Chain A
Amino acid sequence: MQKRRFNLHTILEKRVLTDSTFVLRLEHNGLEFTAGQHIQVGPPNGIHTREYSIYSAPTDDFIEILVREIEDGVVTPALKKLEAGDSVVVNDAVGYFTIDKEVAEGKQFLFVASGTGISPFHSFVKAFPSLNYTLVHGIRFAEEAYERHHYEPSRYVACTSRDEKGDFHGRVTDWLTQNPLNNDTLCYLCGNCDMIHDVYDILEKQGVSSKNIFTEVYF
């Protein structure tokens, strides 16, 4: 039980979202996890894996991850070539970017994501259907608003920096500056380091205690 163990999971389906982004649906294989945790995934015949926050909910009878291809990458181009019926290696779920069941009810949540950093929030929203949240998603183009129909329209804000087809033209930092929040909001930030760094500063200036800010860095 102590040593990390990799298991083979068959791919059930691949959903292509954009030219570079896709969702891999994997067989569940009894993988236990809490919404917000991440796994390491890699092609079956290689030694390399990458970390992915789980996109699906613990109650789903499958596991999903949201993958963006890195052109010169070692793992993602190989994952992109895989199809339903192929396998990937997956290790145990780990991580502390989670929501306590007890606090999920009755609290206001702010989720701030950049790019595929939306994954854990997708899992949260599926895992806690009555969650009172606002999801602010930083992307370049509106087409990167991955599966936005999974979220209540009034709760999802696509902040597009390179086109004006989103809900807000600008960066998530601009949106947050223009939309200050209650300082007892629980704030979850997931995405690149610079976004988290800048958003953290804004939230603290708005009076949010660091105890109420949770981060998951994507690289």
Chain B
Amino acid sequence: MKVAFKTLGCRLNQYETDALAAQFSGNGYEVSEQEEGADVVVVNTCTVTNQSNQKSRYVISHAGRINPGAKMVITGCMAESHAEQLQKKFPEATVINNKGKSGIFHSVDSLIKTGNADLSDKDFDLFSYQSFTEMFHTRSLIKIQDGCDNFCTFCIIPFVRGRAISRPVEQVLQNIREVVAKGAREIVLTGVNISRYESDGVKFSGLVDKILNLEGDFRVRISSIEPDRFDDHFFTLIGHPKLAPHLHLCLQSGSERILLQMRRMYTVKDFMEIVDRVRAVDPKFNFTTDVIVGFPGETEEEFEETMAVARKVGFGHMHIFKYSVRQNTRAQRMADHIPDKVKTERSKRMHALAEELTANYRAPFDNTEQRILVEKWSDGVASGYNDYFVPMQFTSVNKKRNRFEVVQARVKDFEEA
């Protein structure tokens, strides 16, 4: 029996797909990211923007066209927010919300064995995914938290992921011990709002500290994080040999007024203070970010403020989103929505800047000795990311993946700025 997984959206979705795939694999199923020949296709959807919804619908339709005989399971955030619409559009599919996601193996197993998906009211734990390593990603994603209570005015995630909840410290540590024992070399901490992690009196920095003190040859990467709860303890961890010098620190806007309208819980000044404190320890530290352009009421000057902050930080990479209305969020009811033409134009300018900044950031790494976690090997070229999350490549006869190599390397696809 073959189960195919199609995943959209964030690292947390990737983690959950990888964990589910590992569970199927461990129970004798063949797993794949290609829908051809699959008996079951699981689509893990995303709803963070309108485009995410469109992509999710497309992936479901496409999988159905390629493999009409396969049983379809739809889960993830769009299955949470648009369950009825999806069920209506894809009547043969089984739609499972986020709460039931960790129980998908049981649902699909019963679907295959009995013809009916077991969708009983089992209260599946948001953290009851099994440990795994090397499923669809070389990096080992570890879920430490779920849900969000911030209720940013543009964001639908609190409505589809629910209240903030942190995974108990010992569960996280045990999960990491297990994947490191299985050979994981890079641990990526994931969640919806990981800076709000708090369990058993341990906050995010305390958890990271404990993880860094675990035995083993691995590095820890912190995935997307909000800049609203950094304590002094966190800054003492910067420079730790096991902590990758990279943060995906979400800016969203460089305008103080827009940040207030977004109900973000930090100021531009706070953001810059974090950058400055970290770069005082490691001047090459890589900051990547998310930015929304065309938020309701954003003026040309406020957009330029975001461009200016981006230049000042010198982001290594930027995810740029044109603001899109999400139903029932506060921003939906705001005045002065920006015409799509203006949003598109601003997005283009921001993308042009982002490309320039990425090239500028990566240039000093080119042709230098770096520690690289090898993720791919093809035609005598090994590639992967260095500690700073710069994609690198080098010639190698060693085809082995998931190994550290300290080597003189080129930045992947590098062109001089």
Docked CA distance A210–B99 (Å): 38
Q: How big is chain B's contact interface, by range?
A: 20 to 34
Distance (Å) between the CB of A114 and the closest chain B CB? 13
Q: Is the CB of B330 within 8 A of A96?
A: no
Q: Are B149 and A217 in contact (CB under 8 A)?
A: no
Interface assignment of A179: CB less than 8 Å from any CB of chain B: no
Option from A4, A193, A197 in Cβ contact (under 8 Å) with B163: A4
Q: Given A2-B99, A3-B162, A94-B151, verify A219-B330 contact (CB < 8 Å).
A: yes
CA distance A96 to B264 in the complex (A): 12
Of B151, B256, B263, B270, which is within 8 A of A197 by CB? B256
User: A215 at the A/B interface (Cβ < 8 Å)?
Assistant: yes
**Distance of A4 Cα from B98 Cα, bound (Å):** 12
Task: Give chain A residues whose Cβ lies under 8 Å from the Cβ of B150.
Answer: 96
Contact-size category for A: 10 to 19
Contact status B263-A4, CB under 8 Å: no
List B contacts of A51 (CB < 8 A): 151, 330
Q: Which of B146, B159, B162, B334 has the most CB of A within 10 A?
A: B162
Which residues of B in the span 117-173 have a Cβ within 8 Å of any Cβ on A?
Answer: 126, 146-147, 149-151, 153, 158-159, 162-163, 165
B261 interface residue per 8 A CB criterion? yes
> A57-96: which residues lie under 8 A (CB-CB) from chain B?
92, 94-96
CA distance A217 to B257 in the complex (A): 11
Determine how close the nearest CB of chain B comes to the CB of A33; give it in whole angstroms. 12
Encoded as 1 (CB less than 8 Å from any B CB) or 0, chain A from 1 to 31 comes to 1111000000000000000000000000000
- Is A158 interfacial (CB 8 A cutoff)? no
* A211, closest chain B residue (CB): B270
A residues less than 8 Å from B334 (CB atoms): 219
Q: How far is the CA of A51 from the CA of B159 in the complex (A)?
A: 14
- The residue in chain B whose Cβ has the minimal distance to the Cβ of A192 is B260
Do B260 and A4 touch across chains, with their CB atoms under 8 A apart? no
In the complex, what's the smallest C-beta–C-beta distance from A162 to chain B, in angstroms?
A: 23
A2 contacts B147, CB within 8 Å?
yes
B260 and A95 contact, CB distance less than 8 A: no
> Least Cβ distance of B342 to chain A in Å?
21
A residues near B (Cβ < 8 Å) are 1-4, 51, 92, 94-96, 193, 196-197, 200, 210, 215, 217, 219
Chain B interface residues toward A at CB < 8 A: 98-99, 126, 146-147, 149-151, 153, 158-159, 162-163, 165, 256-257, 260-261, 263, 265, 267, 269-270, 273, 330, 333-334
Not counting A3-B162, A193-B260, A215-B260, a sample of 17 additional A-B residue pairs whose C-beta atoms are within 8 angstroms of each other reads: A1-B163, A2-B126, A2-B146, A4-B162, A4-B163, A51-B330, A92-B163, A95-B149, A96-B265, A196-B260, A197-B256, A200-B256, A210-B270, A215-B265, A219-B153, A219-B330, A219-B334
What are 9 A-to-B residue pairs whose CB atoms are below 8 Å?
Answer: A2-B99, A2-B126, A3-B162, A96-B149, A196-B260, A210-B269, A217-B260, A219-B330, A219-B333
